[in-house]
Structures are given as C-alpha cells and as structure tokens.
C-alpha cells in the first residue's frame, strides 16, 4: 500500500456525518478498513503533489451553482436511458432495466445473494497497490447507489447514464460494477455534472475476448469538484476503450487503473479536457502489463486558458514475463495564454526485455505558422484558432469508434470553444 498520510482526526472529521449504507456489507467494511489504514491524502503524497485534495478532504461539499446541464448528448442514439438526479436513481425518467444480453440492477436495491457481491469493490481493492487511492476506498464503503451490469452476450443497445443535478450542495458517491462474460460486448455512455462534489467509481471486469466501450462527458458546471476512478481488469484478448471529455469544473481528478491479466488484450484510454479560468484537471493513470502481447494506449490532451491548470500522471508498469508488450503514452497541453499551466509526470517501469514502450509529453501554444496559413486562405482568426484546437484534440476523439458518438463529442467541443472565444 502506498504512502498516504495517516491523519486519523482528519479522517474522523471527513467521515463524521456519514453512515455505511446497507447491502454489500463485507465489501464496505473491508473498504472502510482500507481507508482507515490509508488516511486522507495530503500535499506530501507523491500522487497528490500537483493537485490539492482539500476540497475532497473537507467534511462537506462546497456549494456549486447548478449550471446549465445543456442539451443531452447522444440523443440520436438508440440507447437504454438511465437517469440519476443528485445521485439518486430516477426510475420515472429512466427506461426499464431490461436489455437483451444484459442483467441490470441497482446497487441501492441489490438483494442478498446478488451476483455483484463477489465483484463489488474487488478491483478497487486490488487497485490500491502499489499506489493508494483513498477516495476509491471511501467510495466502495459509502456509495449510495450505482449500476450493477452483468453482460452475457452482445448488448443490443448502449447504456446511456445521465447525471442531473438540482441541488447546490449535493455530495454524491456512486459506484458501478460492470462484468462482461467471455465474448460479451457493451457500450456504456455517461454524461452530466452529477453533483457539487462527485465521487465516482467504475469497476470493469472483462472475461476473455469481451469488448467494452466507455464514453464519458463530464458536466459543464464551473464550480464542481469530482474525483473518479476506473478500475479495469482484462483477460486474454479483451478490449477496453474509454474516452472522457471534461469541459469546465473547478477540480476534476480522473484516475484509471488498468491491468492486463491475459495475453493479447488491448486497452485504450483517452481524455480531452478544456478549461478556462478556475479549472484544475488531473488525469492519473496506471497501466500494468502482467501478460504477453498486450497493447495499451494513453492519449490525453488539454486545452487551457486564463490560468487553468492541467496535470497528467501516467505510468506504464511492465511486469517480468510480459513480453511483446506494446505500451504508448502521450500527454499534451495547448496553452492559450501565458497564465495557464501544464504539469506532466510520465513514468515507465519495465521488467521484461522484449517490449515496445514509448511516452511523450509536450505543452505549447497554437502554431503561428499554421494560423497564418489558414488566415491567408481567408479563414477568420477565431475560426482558424478553433480549427487548430479541434485538430489538436483529434487524436483523443479518434479513440471513439462510433462515428455518431464521436460527432456528438466534437459538437460539444465546438460549442465550448464558441462560448470561450475571448
């Protein structure tokens, strides 16, 4: 377990107002024990050096004005709609929890003996080593609701989760468990601001040859604080693809912990983040190659202006015996002014001798030469800038396989750019 500061009093204060929800009791108790052993993170913790955890450490959520939730994304897609309002599942606004090839239920109402009892919190627990992730442990202990998704075949439709927010001080902890059997396929979409303070965990367990696509658009609320974790475990020949769009938000920490346990699996994780002003966005990724011939790609890009801050901490760990690993990592920031900042910490740790691993990290301004070239052809300055910003982010969107979804995400980016021209 990693070196997270143990601050018993601080933790007691943080947990003071909370009580453990019912159901999944052994997993919740174990998570609480993990959290107590870890304590809350502080600035001295290596992985919290660039992102201050105080907003998460505070006993209550800071009020965040309810922003414009905006038009729902992916509206043109035939999907099963699942709505949460301030973290509470809203059955009236949601579709029925029935879908061919999928068993779908809620964490809050899962009965004793539910299949997810064996899965809930398992990947989170495994993902606490070698680096502690206290907010994920807190999530497993205190999550009030979430979706338990068991996929046995090819899901007939994507699941589209919409998080709405009505309350200025909502403090929400949601935990989803996704389990795909051999050869099963699922696309999971998530969108919306969810809460003033949002703690989100997504555990994804992929059996051999299972295919999972995840596209997430975090809401546009300016004052929102969010800490999210994805834990993915891949068996042989499985495919995991995850894309996250973050536009606005006071503080967002998106962690991903991906483990290759079987050979010839692929995991691609991508993120596009855009911030203007009071915006701090942190992608912290840990990919473990523990099997042969697996391919991992981390593609993270950020567009920052007016003092916005971007952080990237990405690691590729190749264990002994994980030969023919193909690991790739790129993190880039486009700084639209001199006030913005990008902090990157790429890490490679390799114990196999026949692997291909590369990483790159850059930050810079819009290319003047390209800008002039476009303008010399009659493209106005603002349009030219937007075109180049979208071009910068194109590699992340390219990780989305579905064209309709990719187009929706691109439209979101364009809308954001139009709103933040000056």
Partner 1 sequence: MLEIKNLHVKLEEEDKQILKGVTLSIGAGEVHAIMGPNGSGKSTLSYVLSGRDGYSVTDGSATLDGVDLLAMEPEVRAAQGLFLAFQYPVEIPGVGNMTFLRTALNAQRKTRGEPEISAGDFLKLVREKAKALKIDADMLKRPVNVGFSGGEKKRNEILQMAMLEPKMCILDETDSGLDVDAMKLVSEGVNALRSAGRSFLVITHYQRLLDHIKPDVVHIMAAGRIIKTGGPELALEVENNGYADLLAEVQ
Query: Are 283 and 257 a contacting pair, CB within 8 Å?
Result: no
Q: Would you put residue 166 in left (φ > 0), alpha (ψ -120 to 50) or beta?
A: alpha
Q: How far is the CB of 1 from partner 1 (least distance, A)?
A: 42
Q: How far is the CB of 386 from partner 1 (least distance, A)?
A: 10
Distance in angstroms (rounded) separating the CA atoms of residues 32 and 29 = 5
- Residue written as token pair 């002039």: 372
Q: How far is the CB of 370 from partner 1 (least distance, A)?
A: 5
Q: Which is nearer to partner 1, 97 or 388 (CB)?
A: 388
Site size toward partner 1, by CB under 8 A: 24
- Residue written as token pair 């850059």: 362
What DSSP string runs through 39-84?
A: ----TTSGGGSSS-THHHHSSSPPP-------SPTTTTS--EEEEE
Q: How far is the CB of 383 from partner 1 (least distance, A)?
A: 6
Contact track, partner 1, 174-193, x by CB under 8 A: --------------------
Q: Which is nearer to partner 1, 188 or 270 (CB)?
A: 270
Which helix (H) or strand (E) element contains residue 106? strand 102-106
Q: Which is nearer to partner 1, 351 or 373 (CB)?
A: 373
Q: Which is nearer to partner 1, 26 or 380 (CB)?
A: 380
Tokens describing residue 61: 């959520």
Contact track, partner 1, 202-221, x by CB under 8 A: --------------------
Contact track, partner 1, 361-400, x by CB under 8 A: ------xxxx-xxxxxxxxxx-xx--xx-xxxxxx-----
Q: Which is nearer to partner 1, 91 or 381 (CB)?
A: 381
| Strand locations in 277-398 (E) | 280-289, 295-305, 309-318, 326-335, 341-350, 356-364
Q: Which is nearer to partner 1, 37 or 388 (CB)?
A: 388
Distance between start and end Cα atoms, the chain:
46
List strands edge to edge, sheet with 98-99: 98-99, 102-106, 147-151, 171-180, 197-206, 225-234, 251-260, 280-289, 309-318, 341-350
Q: How far is the CB of 136 from partner 1 (least distance, A)?
A: 34
Q: Which is nearer to partner 1, 203 or 399 (CB)?
A: 399
Q: How far is the CB of 282 from partner 1 (least distance, A)?
A: 25
- Residue written as token pair 């709103």: 419
Per CB under 8 A, contacts with partner 1 among 62-81 are none
Q: Which is nearer to partner 1, 222 or 394 (CB)?
A: 394
Q: How far is the CB of 388 from partner 1 (least distance, A)?
A: 7
% helix, strand, coil for the chain, step of 5: 20, 40, 40
Q: How many CA atoms lie within 13 A of 119 on its CB side?
A: 25
Query: Are 191 and 95 a contacting pair, CB within 8 Å?
Result: no
Per CB under 8 A, contacts with partner 1 among 275-334 are none
Q: How far is the CB of 301 from partner 1 (least distance, A)?
A: 11
Q: Which is nearer to partner 1, 138 or 409 (CB)?
A: 409
422 touches partner 1 (CB under 8 A): no
Is the bond preceding residue 130 a cis peptide, omega within 30 degrees? Answer: yes
Q: How far is the CB of 330 from partner 1 (least distance, A)?
A: 13
Q: Which is nearer to partner 1, 98 or 376 (CB)?
A: 376
Query: Are 60 and 17 a contacting pair, CB within 8 Å?
Result: yes
Q: How far is the CB of 281 from partner 1 (least distance, A)?
A: 21
Pairing assessment for the beta strands 309-318 and 88-89 based on DSSP bridges: unpaired
Residues that bind partner 1 (CB under 8 A): 367-370, 372-381, 383-384, 387-388, 390-395
């Amino acid at each position: 377990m990693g070196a997270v500061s143990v601050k018993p009093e601080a933790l007691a204060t943080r947990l003071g107002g909370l009580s453990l929800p019912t159901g999944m009791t052994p997993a919740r108790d174990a998570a609480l024990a993990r959290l107590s052993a870890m304590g809350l993170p502080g600035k001295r913790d290596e992985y919290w050096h660039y992102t201050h955890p105080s907003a998460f450490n505070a006993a209550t959520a800071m009020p965040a004005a309810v922003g414009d939730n905006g038009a729902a994304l992916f509206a043109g897609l035939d999907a099963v709609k699942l709505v949460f309002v301030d973290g509470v599942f809203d059955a009236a606004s949601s579709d029925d929890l029935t879908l061919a090839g999928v068993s779908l239920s809620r964490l809050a109402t899962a009965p004793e003996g539910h299949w997810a009892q064996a899965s809930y919190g398992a990947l989170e627990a495994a993902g606490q080593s070698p680096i502690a992730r206290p907010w994920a442990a807190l999530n497993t202990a205190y999550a009030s609701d979430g979706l338990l998704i068991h996929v046995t075949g090819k899901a007939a439709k994507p699941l589209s989760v919409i998080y709405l927010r009505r309350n200025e001080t909502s403090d929400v902890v949601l935990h989803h468990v996704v389990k795909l059997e051999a050869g099963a396929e699922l696309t999971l979409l998530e969108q919306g601001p969810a809460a003033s303070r949002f703690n989100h965990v997504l555990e994804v367990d992929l059996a051999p040859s299972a295919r999972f696509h995840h596209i997430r658009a975090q809401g546009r609320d300016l004052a929102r604080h969010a800490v999210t974790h994805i834990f993915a475990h891949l068996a042989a020949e499985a495919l995991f693809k995850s894309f996250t769009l973050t536009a606005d938000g006071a503080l967002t920490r998106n962690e991903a912990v991906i483990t290759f346990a079987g050979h010839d699996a692929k995991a691609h994780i991508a993120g596009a983040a855009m911030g203007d002003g009071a915006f701090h966005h942190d992608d912290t990724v840990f990919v473990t190659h523990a099997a042969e011939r697996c391919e991992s790609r981390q593609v993270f890009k950020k567009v920052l202006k007016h003092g916005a801050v971007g952080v990237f901490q990405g690691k590729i760990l190749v264990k002994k015996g994980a030969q023919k690993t193909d690991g790739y990592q790129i993190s880039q920031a486009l700084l639209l002014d001199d006030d913005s900042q990008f902090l990157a910490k790429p890490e490679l740790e390799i114990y196999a001798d026949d692997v291909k691993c590369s990483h790159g990290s850059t930050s810079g301004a819009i290319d003047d030469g390209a800008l002039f070239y476009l303008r010399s052809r009659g493209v106005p300055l603002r349009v030219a800038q937007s075109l180049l910003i979208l071009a910068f982010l194109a590699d992340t969107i390219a990780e989305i396989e579905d064209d309709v979804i990719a187009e929706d995400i691109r439209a979101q980016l364009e809308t954001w750019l139009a709103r933040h021209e000056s």
